[in-house]
Structure 1
């Protein structure tokens, strides 16, 4: 049996120049956000627990809890809204095509009967309100000429809907059925977010013109604005009301969040919160939510900061992670509680078992990372820039960046663990032997190379080819001498790994098969490991060499006990949506998996 013990969730997808609208449920203290085609549910009190809804066919854009917390409505870039239950495996209740383009915002009516959605559409249809159970329209929404970025439902009767968008307009509708009442043009740029106060007495709009405007909730008349003194110096992307309707939280491209006191129709600055980052572009703030005693901000880099509303001076809790698919995982051998992960966009993140996010390793050059290996005090990585990087692992910095250009794109990277300065890198035409950041030799092997592994003592290498053959070489100084060729695979070799006790090595291929070999006799030790339904991307050995785990494009992780027939395997279904690309054992009974969904999950294995 394998049980999920910890989840290190991805961060929200963001886009420069646009806000993101996150939402939550005050009763369960959970928040919702989107990344790729996934909707992520995170509990703020237990950040190492996260659930994912991955049923959208297009990138998900916004999600909201129904007023009773039983349902979630989530929307995507195709204009589709799906309504699903928060319990019972997220059972789908309804699905409607609401707009002809991307949906940017949606909200439930306070009685949970209707939903309003806004976004991009053809012609004049940028907003639609409908009954959640039948999909039938509840009004006409004229008055916008461009994409509608945000919409809000008045939480008290009489019901009203307000919308705002790229035409600089704030529109006010009365209903139901909803009819256009008036357009208000007080902003001089895109209006990014609009929200009613929880008591329904007011609503506020915020814009890229750096202003926030306050209106009467019943009539739509303007009653004031946020003070321009100490105001935001950049576009305001999102706004959220305090539960008592007396304050609002705003976030801006100027990298600050501000708390405003709202009274007599005016907004007076109460507190400015600065984002705890390096001050780069990724620290612009693009989303916010005031929920219970939490003030939540989201940066362009995806970092979620949790401030305490009752004590805003207290340092925020930071929840961060990857935004893009995780290409590799490594466990620091000297301290297996430390897990390192690298993603397609060049981020390397450090995690601590039981804690979660522990910092990102800043690299001077943010090249895309393909392979990652860790030994004692050092990280070795290869990227799409033809370089192999060696970074010293001190604190939260990747210090002493050394790199070597090997002239071709690295396919695979393997370190000789007993003499970690020695590394073997595979390229299309052969292999490159490195000592530190010095090329010892480049060997053309005469076949297309797809994977490689070097023995821990550096005396032997196994190289896999496009033809499915495994070539074994003796390494003597800078020369490789072919010793034998093993034929068993029927597809291109994708990964090769030596067992920690070096008595075996395992290989896997694109034709979904894995094989365990005896290192001394070169005989097959475990065969018929053919239980995946798609290519195997990664494999890992348990520290005691008793188990081997494989991860595949089919989203599954399979764990084999070397002493038992493959039929007694343990399968983790749906370990990572979109495919498993990284695997590492943290200890003999804990395996970490990562993949296309930018999640890392830790699985506890119970002895069979």
Structure 2
């Protein structure tokens, strides 16, 4: 069996020009955020402890802990809210379709009995409040003409609900059952976020007009503003109150976070400005924030989460990040430093250190998307969708200068000869290209549709897989390939080929969910009947001693086989990655790392059978 030992979680999904909402549970010091169809829950004091809920059918937009911390309500772009148990098997309590379009925000009532949700809808149905156990409506929410971006529940009695959105309005409702009380038009642009203070005495709204306005929590009347003189120079996307209701934290497109003292008269006075760490680019715009216990959490457009200390302003902030998009490949560097590199198709290459987690992103001179990725010690090789292959030296987190090689058509696969890493083979749809260092040795056209390829560790042999399910074995001599054999065992398009580290075997996999292990010398099948996936196999990985072979599939699972035992005596890791597994690598004989569509990286401990 296999045991999950570490999770390097994805970062929140962000969108330029929009704020994002991260939820907090002060008791466990945990936060919740969304990426794709996943809700990620992680502890601020232990970032490697992350749990992921992936039961939504559509992209998730917001998640909130119940007041007692036992339940989570999460919503998606279809307008569906799911209420599920946070612990154990995460049982589904209820599911309701509350809006006809995307849900942008939701809040629990302080007694945990009601939920209010807002977002996009047809007609004037932009807000709905309902009982959490039955879905029964508990109010009418007239007054908005466009998408409602944020809503908030007053945390003390008498209950109130405030909403705000793209019509520049802030609406105030009394209840339950909730009815429209008044509307405020103090803002001149989208009102992005509204939040009540924990003591319920006030609420604040922030807007793309760079203003923050405070209101009386019981009547909804305006009582003050954040100081304009010290204010943000860009849109304010999110706001969060301190636990004692005396301060607020705001974040803005101007790449700063600000802490404000809220005076008795309802006005906000700047206490300090928190600079966003980074290069100052667009990705450093701040789009989300949370004040939880002593933690001031900010989220940038690029997904970097930075944690400041509220009580110790001089303490250096802690930052961690990761992938936002699907991870397409994974490499473990056998350098003794436990470094894992993962790449996503949006061009991000992230370094992870086992036992520590996030260790920075590689700063590349070219920012092109990545389709294929390989690495040798102190060097990475990438290809994108522009027919070019980059071979770049790496020093720490900095990538050196290099000139790309044009291989004539879009690369389908890329592998490096382990013992002679200067030599690499690139497969294209019509053939392969041999690379020696940064130069093309030979482009070779083949008379069939190529899907993937691999080169032996010593660089003397190459295997090319075809759309017809055949494996073509070539000897490599200088700039020529000589066909030695054709192996016909697969019944589907070849999707992956991988030599064992000792070069005595190779494994192949296909779109018809089958994997095969071959003896390299005799070219006979060494392990067959590897037919336990239910969908296409995307990737293969060998253990360092060539004793284990792992397969990762579109069916979200990883299966580990022992080469010397029947395929039936296997280890299956079900649900390893929501959406499919696209990267696999062994760290050592007993540890496996995987990555996939959910933009997460996981380390698994293989336990004796």
**Shorter-chain TM-score category?**
over 0.9
Which stretches of structure 1, 4 residues or longer, exceed 3 Å deviation after superposition? none
**Partner in structure 1 of residue 196 of structure 2:** 196
**Partner in structure 2 of residue 526 of structure 1:** 527
Q: Residue 301 in 1 paired to residue 302 in 2? A: yes
- Matched residue of 1:420: which SS? coil
Q: Structure 1 CA distance, aligned partners of 2:334 and 2:511?
A: 29
**Partner in structure 1 of residue 336 of structure 2:** 335
**TM-aligned CA deviation for residue 336 of structure 1:** 5.5
**TM-aligned CA deviation for residue 90 of structure 1:** 1.0
Q: Residue 243 in 1 paired to residue 238 in 2? A: no
Do the aligned partners of 2:365 and 2:401 also contact (CA within 8 Å) in 1?
A: no
Q: Structure 1 CA distance, aligned partners of 2:403 and 2:322?
A: 25
**Partner in structure 2 of residue 289 of structure 1:** 290
Do the aligned partners of 1:302 and 1:320 also contact (CA within 8 Å) in 2?
A: yes
Q: Which string of whole-angstrom CA distances, capped at 9 and with x for unpartnered residues, describes residues 430-486 of structure 1?
A: 110011121111111101111111111111111111111111111111010001111
Do the aligned partners of 2:30 and 2:42 also contact (CA within 8 Å) in 1?
A: yes
**Partner in structure 2 of residue 516 of structure 1:** 517
Q: Structure 2 CA distance, aligned partners of 1:389 and 1:98?
A: 49
Q: Which string of whole-angstrom CA distances, capped at 9 and with x for unpartnered residues, describes residues 125-168 of structure 1?
A: 11111111111111111111111100000000011111111111
Do the aligned partners of 1:527 and 1:566 also contact (CA within 8 Å) in 2?
A: yes
Alignment of 1:125-274 (within 5 A): 125-264=125-264, 265-274=266-275
Do the aligned partners of 1:63 and 1:73 also contact (CA within 8 Å) in 2?
A: yes
Structure 1, unpaired ranges of 5+? none
Do the aligned partners of 1:533 and 1:554 also contact (CA within 8 Å) in 2?
A: yes
**Partner in structure 1 of residue 452 of structure 2:** 451
**Partner in structure 2 of residue 393 of structure 1:** 394
**Partner in structure 2 of residue 112 of structure 1:** 112
Q: Residue 570 in 1 paired to residue 574 in 2? A: no
**Partner in structure 1 of residue 99 of structure 2:** 99
**Partner in structure 2 of residue 352 of structure 1:** 353
What root-mean-square deviation, in Å, do the aligned CA atoms of Structure 1 and Structure 2 show?
A: 0.8
Report the count of equivalent residues.
608
Q: Structure 1 CA distance, aligned partners of 2:551 and 2:11?
A: 26
**TM-aligned CA deviation for residue 552 of structure 1:** 0.3
Q: Structure 2 CA distance, aligned partners of 1:113 and 1:66?
A: 9
**Partner in structure 2 of residue 313 of structure 1:** 314
**Partner in structure 1 of residue 585 of structure 2:** 584
**TM-aligned CA deviation for residue 313 of structure 1:** 2.5
Do the aligned partners of 1:336 and 1:586 also contact (CA within 8 Å) in 2?
A: no
**TM-aligned CA deviation for residue 89 of structure 1:** 1.4
**TM-aligned CA deviation for residue 49 of structure 1:** 1.1
**TM-aligned CA deviation for residue 587 of structure 1:** 1.1
Q: Residue 71 in 1 paired to residue 56 in 2? A: no
Do the aligned partners of 1:255 and 1:274 also contact (CA within 8 Å) in 2?
A: yes
Q: Structure 2 CA distance, aligned partners of 1:361 and 1:594?
A: 18
**TM-aligned CA deviation for residue 418 of structure 1:** 1.4
Change beyond 3 A, Cα 1:336–1:516: farther
**TM-aligned CA deviation for residue 424 of structure 1:** 0.5
Q: Structure 2 CA distance, aligned partners of 1:537 and 1:272?
A: 47
**TM-aligned CA deviation for residue 335 of structure 1:** 3.1
- Matched residue of 2:298: which SS? strand
Do the aligned partners of 2:173 and 2:182 also contact (CA within 8 Å) in 1?
A: yes
**Partner in structure 2 of residue 542 of structure 1:** 543
**TM-aligned CA deviation for residue 596 of structure 1:** 0.4
Q: Structure 2 CA distance, aligned partners of 1:259 and 1:402?
A: 46
Q: Structure 2 CA distance, aligned partners of 1:138 and 1:456?
A: 67
**TM-aligned CA deviation for residue 400 of structure 1:** 2.0
Do the aligned partners of 1:336 and 1:587 also contact (CA within 8 Å) in 2?
A: no
More deviation in 357-366 or 547-556?
A: 357-366
**TM-aligned CA deviation for residue 308 of structure 1:** 1.0
**Partner in structure 2 of residue 82 of structure 1:** 82
Q: Which string of whole-angstrom CA distances, capped at 9 and with x for unpartnered residues, describes residues 214-253 of structure 1?
A: 1110111111100012210000000000000000000000
Q: Residue 413 in 1 paired to residue 414 in 2? A: yes
Q: Which string of whole-angstrom CA distances, capped at 9 and with x for unpartnered residues, describes residues 349-402 of structure 1?
A: 110001101000111221111221111110111211111111111011111233
Q: Residue 383 in 1 paired to residue 384 in 2? A: yes
- Matched residue of 2:400: which SS? strand
**Partner in structure 1 of residue 493 of structure 2:** 492
**Partner in structure 2 of residue 33 of structure 1:** 33
**TM-aligned CA deviation for residue 312 of structure 1:** 2.5
Do the aligned partners of 1:466 and 1:492 also contact (CA within 8 Å) in 2?
A: yes
**Partner in structure 1 of residue 463 of structure 2:** 462
- Matched residue of 1:567: which SS? coil
Q: Structure 2 CA distance, aligned partners of 1:432 and 1:313?
A: 54
Structure 2, unpaired ranges of 5+? none
- Matched residue of 2:104: which SS? strand
Q: Which string of whole-angstrom CA distances, capped at 9 and with x for unpartnered residues, describes residues 274-324 of structure 1?
A: 111111101100000000111000100111111111113222111200000
- Matched residue of 2:140: which SS? coil
Q: Structure 2 CA distance, aligned partners of 1:444 and 1:48?
A: 47
- Matched residue of 1:400: which SS? coil
- Matched residue of 1:537: which SS? strand
Q: Structure 2 CA distance, aligned partners of 1:190 and 1:397?
A: 39
**Partner in structure 2 of residue 23 of structure 1:** 23
